[in-house]
């Protein structure tokens, strides 16, 4: 056994050395002094002096030359990175433009450039464009590794002040992109800057991706991984301090029907709103930015997707507010699944989930050498019986051992004006042991008045993981965690306490060759359990196999069979329709999922989940068709249907969540988004309509309508009013660059 452990350790060290020694050669980009006009025709003479990058196919068949001629050139000057794209096409009528709506490029032909601006091999920014000039931008964290089911690619982020222009003719489509250094941040060492870059072109009708540099096909989403990006040098960049001030003014009316104090009837309430505030962004240096917000407003943020909770635990909702998106990866401190030590959605909401005014705050983020530094402080106002609160965060992370590993510290505080406090602090890290092997750890502890006399382990959480991720061959994931009975991250998110958890999965993947219709397929067997620290009994256990595959036409296939065990310590309500009794339950269910290729104008995703459910049964259908009627109109439907039969209900019952999204865009500046949701479990129809006129980046006019309409009115006493609430708001923002 000892010999085996020594062999494994030496193998990992050798592999690590190989990773570092085989790093891609650094590319020196062309520095220019000529002015480039961003007009989309790629006609400036300077482009002809720059050698194009050599792109190769990644999907559906890796390593081949692109089926269509593609020329990508990159240059820079003191202030900008420039990119030109010549996407020739032998059939220009086949060029796919599904949408003009920002961040809705799915299924379109597109070009993207990824920038690992701080060269940390872990975080990056993505800028993409389709042939009509519609933009897409996102930020990447955790080297694009999906951990605990959470997507590390955040598409809710919008970068300011990058320019793009496109054109189409009988040869294909063409694009020019200009990205300001002041908007992305970088670190300068000895008058030189190193970043990671990769580019890709997607030819939608062929489900084809062509990339630079050539990337390993056995790595999931290699084109989104900063650690695999081509290293490039920029010389003589003169960082300049930048100041952006974005004031806003908003006005509107808010109507509600509220239950009176006697709870015998509803009365109408109306309030007028007129407000103003501003955001400020100051580039202290190339690698440090200060963001300040005063009287923060998020009126234009899209409504959350409604969910159906079939468990006894709280639901998690992702952050969509722009102020919290920038450099958000620095503040990431995940402790397993959706749990985290710091969760920005706690800021600006009462304990009951109602909106709460954010008076203001500040965030400082940057990188010095191998250190990432983040500071955040936010102050909220009072709301009813909820007092004013202050949230504070200190975050430090350092690259250790190799350029793909880090260790970090975080401290979090939540203090209100009534004197109640909650503090959290901890350490986390990821060590890359070999090309695909990683070891992770998290230790977090909370402190509040109620737990002062508790032991260290009663108010802490520890998590250890070792995993290998690859699309080909053998991989695994091993996870252990322990959470004390008094661990309570009040500024974070946590679902359960007083347990320890062990999870194990083994997977084998195949990369198809030759004439196979598949790109890849995999088979996985996984199991996990939560065991109570008090009783030492298993509370939740799961085990089962999973099969998944992707076809060369772009379809995704998935199937799973899961055996589940639940020991419910006390009864809990289910959807307000029945109660699940305390007791021990064993059930089994099967899931089948099919997702059609995103390149199709009319496409769908279908999922069926059927099996026993506690001491009854459940059927879940999830159908999500999308139709790009034209580049100006996209329709997305979603229907989630649950049929449940458990003994304490009066026969079987069903619940629906239906969603309709209509994305319309007259051009890349004028758009409307309508989002209508029907939730029978919540007895509500909610409507969120957002009209936007984007004069330019940072200058927007918004008109927003939010309405909630009650359904099943006579099922309650007193009867519900037809309209629960209605809000109409107008908001204008204008950014000044100084």
Which SS3 state, helix, strand or coil, does residue 510 take? strand
Range 629-635 contact pairs with CB under 8 angstroms and sequence separation of 24 or more: 631/97, 631/98, 631/99, 631/100, 631/132, 631/665, 632/100, 632/664, 632/665, 632/666, 633/662, 633/663, 633/664, 634/98, 634/99, 634/101, 634/104, 634/661, 634/662, 634/663, 634/664, 635/660, 635/661, 635/662
Sequence-separated (6 or more) residues with CB below 8 Å from residue 483: 460, 461, 494, 496, 497, 498, 499, 500, 501
> Which segment of 165-179, 300-314, 628-642 scores lowest on mean pLDDT?
300-314
> Given pLDDT bands bounded at 50, 70 and 90, which one contains residue 149?
low
Residue 522 clears pLDDT 90, i.e. is over it:
yes
Are 143 and 438 a contacting pair, CB within 8 Å?
no
Residue 714 clears pLDDT 80, i.e. is over it:
no
> What was the pLDDT predicted at 150?
66
Higher-confidence residue: 159 or 509?
Answer: 509
> What was the pLDDT predicted at 13?
35
Q: What is the pLDDT of residues 384-401, one digit of tens each?
A: 888 999 999 999 999 998
> Given pLDDT bands bounded at 50, 70 and 90, which one contains residue 3?
very low
Which SS3 state, helix, strand or coil, does residue 121 take? coil
Sequence-separated (6 or more) residues with CB below 8 Å from residue 216: 222, 228
> Given pLDDT bands bounded at 50, 70 and 90, which one contains residue 5?
very low
Task: State the Cα–Cα distance between residues 546 and 428, nearest whole angstrom.
Answer: 30
Task: State the Cα–Cα distance between residues 216 and 120, nearest whole angstrom.
Answer: 20
Residue 64 clears pLDDT 80, i.e. is over it:
yes
What domains does the chain contain, in order, with CATH numbers?
25-235 (2.60.40.1190)
> What was the pLDDT predicted at 148?
60
Q: What is the pLDDT of residues 687-708, one digit of tens each?
A: 999 999 999 888 999 999 999 9
Q: What is the pLDDT of residues 183-202, one digit of tens each?
A: 888 888 777 889 999 999 99
> How is residue 645 written in tokens?
């039969």
Nearest to 334 by CA among 469, 429, 431, 405: 429
Are 220 and 15 a contacting pair, CB within 8 Å?
no
Residue 297 clears pLDDT 80, i.e. is over it:
yes
What average pLDDT does the segment 410-433 reach?
Answer: 94
> What was the pLDDT predicted at 239?
63
> What was the pLDDT predicted at 294?
95
> What was the pLDDT predicted at 161?
84
- C-alpha dist (Å) from residue 585 to 292, 310, 539, 681: 51, 15, 10, 24
Q: What is the pLDDT of residues 12-23, one digit of tens each?
A: 433 333 333 334
190 dihedral zone (left: phi>0; alpha: psi -120 to 50; beta): left
Percentage of residues of the chain with pLDDT beyond 70: 96
Residue 554 clears pLDDT 60, i.e. is over it:
yes
> What was the pLDDT predicted at 16?
37
> What was the pLDDT predicted at 238?
67
> What was the pLDDT predicted at 9?
36
> What was the pLDDT predicted at 240?
67
Sequence-separated (6 or more) residues with CB below 8 Å from residue 579: 571, 572, 573, 648
> What was the pLDDT predicted at 2?
34
Alpha helix segments (H runs only) across 175-323 = 181-184
> What was the pLDDT predicted at 147?
66
Burial class (CB in 10 A: 0-12, 13-18, 19+), 439: middle
Task: Determine phi and psi for 606, rounding to 5 degrees.
Answer: -130, 130
Rounded to the nearest integer, the mean pLDDT of the chain is 89
Are 446 and 423 a contacting pair, CB within 8 Å?
yes
Q: What is the pLDDT of residues 430-449, one digit of tens each?
A: 998 988 899 999 999 999 98
Residue 650 clears pLDDT 80, i.e. is over it:
no
> How is residue 540 written in tokens?
């939740």
DSSP strand pairing (188-189 vs 473-483): unpaired
Percentage of residues of the chain with pLDDT beyond 90: 62
State if pTM tops 0.85.
yes
Q: What is the pLDDT of residues 478-510, one digit of tens each?
A: 999 999 999 999 999 999 999 999 999 999 999
- C-alpha dist (Å) from residue 478 to 261, 295, 440, 466, 560: 54, 45, 10, 5, 20
Supply angle C-alpha 123, 126, 131, rounded to 5.
Answer: 170
Give me Rg for the CA atoms of the chain: 26
């Amino acid at each position: 056994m000892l010999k085996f452990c020594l062999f494994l350790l030496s193998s990992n060290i050798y592999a690590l050395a190989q990773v570092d020694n085989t790093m891609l050669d650094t590319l020196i980009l062309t520095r220019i002094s000529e002015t480039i006009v961003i007009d989309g025709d790629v006609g400036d003479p300077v482009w002809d002096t720059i050698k194009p990058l050599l792109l190769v196919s990644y999907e559906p068949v890796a390593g081949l030359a692109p089926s269509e001629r593609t020329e990508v050139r990159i240059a820079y000057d003191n202030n900008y990175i420039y990119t030109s794209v010549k996407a020739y096409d032998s059939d220009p009528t086949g060029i796919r433009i599904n949408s003009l709506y920002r961040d809705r490029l799915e299924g379109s032909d597109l070009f993207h450039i990824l920038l690992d601006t701080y060269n940390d091999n872990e975080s990056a920014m993505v800028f993409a464009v389709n042939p009509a000039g519609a933009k897409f931008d996102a930020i990447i964290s955790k080297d694009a590794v999906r951990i605990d089911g959470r997507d590390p690619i955040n598409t809710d982020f919008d970068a300011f002040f990058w320019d793009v222009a496109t054109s189409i003719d009988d040869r294909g489509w063409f694009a020019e992109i200009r990205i300001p250094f002041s908007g992305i941040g970088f670190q300068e060492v000895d008058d030189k800057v190193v970043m990671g870059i990769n580019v890709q072109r997607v030819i939608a009708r062929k489900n084809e991706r062509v990339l630079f540099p050539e990337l390993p096909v056995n790595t999931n989403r290699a084109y989104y991984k900063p650690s695999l990006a081509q290293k490039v040098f920029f010389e003589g960049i003169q960082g300049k301090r930048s100041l952006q001030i974005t004031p806003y003014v908003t006005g509107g009316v808010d109507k509600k029907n509220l239950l009176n104090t006697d709870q015998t009837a509803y009365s109408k309430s109306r309030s007028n709103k007129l407000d103003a505030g501003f955001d400020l962004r100051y580039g202290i240096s190339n690698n440090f930015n200060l963001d300040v917000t005063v009287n923060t407003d998020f009126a234009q943020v899209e409504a959350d997707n409604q969910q159906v909770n079939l468990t006894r635990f709280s639901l998690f909702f992702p952050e969509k507010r722009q102020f919290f998106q920038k450099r958000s990866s620095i503040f990431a401190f995940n402790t397993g699944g959706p749990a985290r030590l710091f969760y920005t959605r706690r800021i600006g909401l009462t304990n009951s989930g109602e909106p709460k005014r954010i008076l203001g705050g500040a965030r400082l983020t940057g990188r010095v050498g191998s250190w990432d530094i983040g500071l955040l402080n936010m102050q909220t106002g009072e709301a009813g019986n909820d007092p004013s609160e202050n949230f504070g965060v200190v975050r430090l992370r350092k690259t250790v051992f190799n350029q793909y590993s880090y260790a970090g510290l975080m401290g979090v505080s939540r203090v209100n004006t009534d004197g109640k406090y909650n503090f959290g602090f901890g350490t986390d890290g990821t060590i890359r042991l070999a090309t695909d092997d990683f070891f992770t750890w998290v230790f977090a502890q909370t402190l509040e008045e109620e737990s002062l006399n508790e032991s260290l382990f009663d108010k802490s959480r520890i998590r250890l993981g070792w995993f290998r991720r690859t699309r080909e061959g053998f991989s695994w994931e091993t996870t252990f965690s322990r959470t004390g009975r008094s661990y309570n991250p009040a500024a974070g998110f946590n679902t359960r306490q007083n347990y320890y958890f062990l999870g194990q999965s083994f997977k084998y993947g195949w990369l198809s060759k030759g004439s196979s219709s598949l790109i890849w397929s995999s088979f996985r067997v996984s199991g996990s359990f939560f065991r109570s620290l008090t009783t030492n009994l298993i509370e939740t256990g799961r085990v089962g196999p999973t099969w998944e595959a992707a076809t060369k036409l772009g379809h995704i296939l998935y199937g799973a069979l899961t055996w589940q065990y639940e020991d419910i310590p006390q009864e809990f309500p289910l959807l307000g329709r029945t109660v699940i009794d305390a007791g021990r339950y064993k059930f089994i269910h099967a899931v089948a999922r099919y997702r059609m290729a995103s390149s199709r104008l009319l496409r769908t995703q279908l999922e069926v989940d059927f099996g026993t459910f506690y001491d009854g049964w459940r059927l879940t259908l999830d159908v999500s068709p999308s139709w790009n009627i034209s580049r100006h109109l996209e329709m997305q439907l979603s229907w989630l249907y649950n049929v449940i039969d458990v003994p304490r209900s009066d026969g079987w019952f069903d619940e629906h969540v239906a969603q309709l999204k209509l994305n319309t865009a007259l051009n890349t500046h004028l758009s409307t988004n309508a989002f209508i949701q029907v939730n029978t479990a919540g007895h509500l129809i909610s409507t969120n309509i957002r009209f936007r006129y984007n004069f330019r980046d940072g200058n927007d006019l918004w008109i927003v309508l939010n309405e909630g309409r009650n359904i099943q009115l006579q099922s309650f006493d007193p009867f519900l009013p037809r309209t629960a609430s209605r809000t109409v708001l107008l908001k204008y923002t204008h950014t000044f660059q100084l």
